[in-house]
Amino acid sequence: MVRNTARREELAALATDYVLDHGLIGLSLRPLAAAIGTSDRMLLYHFAGKDDLVATVLRISNDRSVEAVRALPRSQSVRTAVLDLWRASTSDESDHCHRVYVEAAALGLLGREPYVSVVREANERWVEALADHLVAAGCTRERAGRAVALLDAAFMGLQLDLPLDPHESHRKRVVSDLADAIAAFAGG
Amino acid sequence: MVRNTARREELAALATDYVLDHGLIGLSLRPLAAAIGTSDRMLLYHFAGKDDLVATVLRISNDRSVEAVRALPRSQSVRTAVLDLWRASTSDESDHCHRVYVEAAALGLLGREPYVSVVREANERWVEALADHLVAAGCTRERAGRAVALLDAAFMGLQLDLPLDPHESHRKRVVSDLADAIAAFAGG
DNA sequence: CTACGACTGTAGCAGTCGCTACAATCGGGC
DNA sequence: GCCCGATTGTAGCGACTGCTACAGTCGTAG
């Protein structure tokens, strides 16, 4: 029996914080439970199982990163929009959200549930938020829709590869180049 | 005591095939060993440990995908180069190589070895191969270097997100858009 | 023949995993 | 007082993990 209680939501929020810090791959219930002041027994009381907990955590994490994008002030141009979005995506909290998203996507690469479904849903809402921001920055809805597919892919790829790159300056140039390329493509 | 014997290389190749099929995350020695006709005991005789085996497998997988790029005939333009590279990267074997690469990168997101080192090394050689192909297609070395950073990121992102997308036509349009954007950026 | 190094099978260690059976505790409505 | 449902602790299950100790079996070199 699993219901939506205040305690469940509280545990879900705490678990999300923990996962954002420690990563999703290799997550196990006992260390998580200990860290947030409960027991594995309790997690399995409030959630139907590990998958249920993970799906809940992923949704909360996604909510936070989408919220961070929606809270951004309007950008002056498509180019600055890309830079603003990247800055927002790599600020402390959102950065961890995207890291977890990437882990979930990797876990879903072979079709394993619940990862595939949750990641698909998360991606839809994330892409939507990106597109809205581009439109607000002045490009048409149609161009934004197509540009965002590229932007999203590039962001995820950078999230995956940039941690390998020790050169801060190189990273900055890549993001700047990306902004140029997207601006040219979106026509803004 | 671990040496470079023929048997070790044979096992490494077989293990690579298995990992390409079954994924890297959650890999465990016993099922792998059984599938390739040996025992976990033997794997640990020929390799220093699971990490050694995984690093070896990742290097072989990367060799194969880089080889696939280098074997491509020269492309007519930057735009067709991007399309050719994407087609090569998503053909059966290379597709699995990149899936495994993404898994390894995800496993390295928090700094865990041996993933970080191996993925960094793999990425360098992969980006190099991409750049060479772009240069052969007619853009300057300098523009190719910068375009490849974007191209690589976009490829990895697409590898991560596109499995979620059930619409073949949508995927094709995204790749075509990417080719346009990269061609415009690289000036070819 | 012997000795040695290369290789392999058996069995098991100590640890972790998700999950569950069972019982206890607690607060509130009858 | 008394029960009932919600919540929690204890203890443990069976399966799995990477890894290792030990005892072999080979082919070959001396």
- Is there contact between A107 and strand C, defined as CB under 7 Å from any strand atom? no
CA of A53 to C1' of D4 (A): 28
The residue among B112, B150, B177 with the most chain A CBs within 10 A of its CB, best to mutate, is B150
What does the DSSP assignment read for chain B?
A: -----HHHHHHHHHHHHHHHHH-STT--HHHHHHHTTS-HHHHHHHSSSHHHHHHHHHHHHHHHHHHHHHTSPPPSSHHHHHHHHHHHHTSHHHHHHHHHHHHHHHHTTT--TTHHHHHHHHHHHHHHHHHHHHHHTT--HHHHHHHHHHHHHHHHHHHHHGGG---HHHHHHHHHHHHHHHHHHHT-
Per-residue pLDDT of chain B (188 residues; tens, 9 = 90+): 677 788 899 999 999 999 999 999 999 999 999 999 999 999 999 999 999 999 999 999 999 999 999 999 999 999 999 999 999 999 988 999 999 999 999 999 999 989 999 999 999 999 999 999 999 998 999 999 999 999 999 999 999 987 788 788 888 999 999 999 999 998 75
CA of B42 to C1' of D25 (A): 15
A119: nearest Cα among A98, A109, A105:
A105
Q: Which of residues 33-92 of A touch strand C (CB under 7 A)?
A: 40-41, 44, 49-51
pLDDT band at A82 (very low <50, low <70, confident <90, very high): very high
A177 touches chain B (CB under 8 A): yes
Contacts of B119 in chain A (CB under 8 A): 164
